[in-house]
Structure 1
């Protein structure tokens, strides 16, 4: 008597929670285009993961609109990732407030409220330093240039002392990798400015000066960094971080951390 073979149907694995990337936004169309290029790279690196983009200001869709679309699709939970390099005002106040408002607006529309888990901001991270290094190489620097080159780590700037301390810490640690000097600069809200740091490095006898914008996408403040670098005569100006592979990898790392029981912060 032959044994009867029993086929068991294995249900498909549930889809992972969508990733909602929340960027600052800008009137400059290059900003949204760069953010979308980054999120497209993230989606390509993780097939099956739904990746959405929203903006705090100027660009569409807004955060409430993006959350409403997730709710309309009956999404039970999602990970919200602030596309920010430091934990300053936007991360501490703006994004939590807009997420609470977006969630509160759903029940009157007859929509379910998804559980929104907020991921950590991107920085600091060795992956961001690796992305900075990539952009400097793309701008023409080689390993042989390190010992004679001073780098200006040019960030957007913040009034938050915690954010400024993070930038200063990155500069100190990055200096140990062999650059002649690494010094922070800010495009707004704090001093010194990019051009001033370029001139100080020259006065200190640094032969070659490179400016590395510690910003994710083009816009008003990155343009200010560029003007300061050019007016002060910097030898090298690197592109913004943009859709560097290291940045995309970091987004996925923050997504995975937010899904873990330890890293999970529910805001709605």
Structure 2
């Protein structure tokens, strides 16, 4: 029996770099599991859209699919948008079984990815000293989602023995610029920002712009097509595939 297909479902962005980054990440996943049918799909803005990918997989004979939402927090997109498109797909295709895995979430291993990206930015900026960190994320009107980012920020700061604060690009304070200025008001001058985003886009671009305007010495790139992120996608898929096995 063929293994279920894997659909890596991202939100999408008007920035073409975002889709390119997600496609590169999915290519990393394919390299790890060349035996699987693996597709990228998007909820909005970018193509291919989710329903078009599902149609293609059904036409190719797949009747079991695991959808892995490429989301870092359990906010609106995870709670509303993803279940909505799944329900639409199953209603349109009789006999199709779709299991939605847990979101990527905020795995502690992602801090290693953040460190790697930040080291590259520090090297490019020729920065050798840090006295504070800011962890920048998308932000949400859901306070629990923001709290999960704040918890990860505390872990990150504890690891580096540096003060750290979480900042958000939308829906919640502080913005990255505010966070950097608050540290500077304390007398700190070597403040770096780690970008807790999967891919480029308007929100991370704005967060970076505000941080640099406020005096950050370096801002990392988003996590992007990193092997650890690809392995996490496959871990979510593996649990979802087991859920599809009849009991």
With the length of structure 2 as denominator, give the TM-score of the two structures: 0.93
How big is the shift at 1:178?
2.0
Counterpart pick for 1:155 among 130, 134, 137: 137
> How does 1:1-268 map onto structure 2 within 5 Å?
14-107=1-94, 113-140=95-122, 148-261=130-243
Cα separation, 2, equivalents of 1:151 and 1:131 = 15
Q: What does the per-residue CA deviation read over 1:149-190, in whole Å, with 9 as the maximum and x for residues that have no partner? A: 311110011001110110111011111102411210000001
Question: Secondary structure of 1:177's match?
Answer: helix
Find the aligned partners of 2:142 and 2:222 in 1 and give their Cα distance. 22
CA distance in 2, matches of 1:86, 1:163: 5
Q: Is the 8 A contact 2:108 2:152 kept in 1?
A: no
Tell me, in whole angstroms, the C-alpha distance in 2 between the residues paired with 1:90 and 1:203.
36
Aligned CA-pair RMSD:
2.0
CA distance in 2, matches of 1:32, 1:179: 35
SS of the aligned residue for 1:124 comes to coil
Q: Point out where structure 2 has 5 or more consecutive residues left out of the alignment.
A: none
> After TM superposition, which residue ranges in structure 1, 4 or more long, deviate above 4 angstroms?
none
Contact in 1 for aligned 2:90/2:97 (Cα 8 Å): no
1:138 Cα deviation after fit: 1.4
Paired with 2:54 and 2:162, the residues of 1 have a C-alpha distance of 47
Number of equivalent positions? 244
1:257–1:205 distance in 2 versus 1, CA, 3 Å: farther
Cα displacement string for residues 102-137 of structure 1 (whole angstroms, at most 9, x for unaligned residues): 221224xxxxx3211111111221121111111111
Q: Aligned equivalents of 1:260 and 1:130: distance in 2?
A: 28
Contact 1:180-1:206 within 8 A present in 2 as well: no
Q: Tell me, in whole angstroms, the C-alpha distance in 2 between the residues paired with 1:88 and 1:164.
A: 9
Shift of 1:76: 2.1
Provide TM-score, normalisation by structure 1.
0.86
- Structure 1 unmatched ranges of 5 or more: 1-13, 108-112
